[in-house]
Amino acid sequence: MTIWIDADACPGVVKEIVCRAAERTQTKTVFVANQYIKTPPSKVISAMQVSAGFDVADDEIVRRLVVGDLVITSDIPLAAEVIDKGGYVITSRGEAYTAANIKAKLNMRDFMETMRSSGVQTGGPPAYSHADRMAFANRLDRWLAKQ
């Protein structure tokens, strides 16, 4: 089992939480990004730098993913591919994307994209909060405990 992190847009605090959990449980963890990602010295934590380009990191994660792996991402299309391939997804805010909710998430994402492209100002997500951090850490701990 491997934890894959879509690291280009992942908050630093999430990276720290994942690294501590990976060390504690000795779970192989790979940060994938199109830029250099510094990781702590570890036998189980590594980084993979991919070439720049649209969805290159996402495609690499999907290519290497095996059934039962966990992916940490807020990228809904990537999450859908991971779920289709038998993986698990947790967002940086602690939400689990599953086969039961991913279609609705994709539909909402597409709707909001249509709104933005027609000129409607939709605003961005709220600032990353302490509650988000706690929700993520708790969800990750529960997932690891099941493994």
Nearest in space to 6 (alpha carbons), one of 87, 67, 116 = 87
pLDDT at 4 (0 to 100):
98
CA angle 122/138/86 to nearest 5° reads 75
* Domain positions in the chain: 2-146
Tell how far CA 127 is from the center of its chain: 17
CA 44/CA 79 separation, integer angstroms? 23
Mean pLDDT to the nearest integer, 66-93: 97
Spatial contact of 78 and 58, defined as CB atoms under 8 Å apart: yes
Looking at the predicted structure, is the pLDDT value of residue 123 above 80?
no
Spatial contact of 82 and 65, defined as CB atoms under 8 Å apart: yes
Read off the pTM: 0.89
pLDDT category, 36, cuts 50, 70, 90?
Answer: very high
The CATH code of the domain at 2-146 is 3.40.50
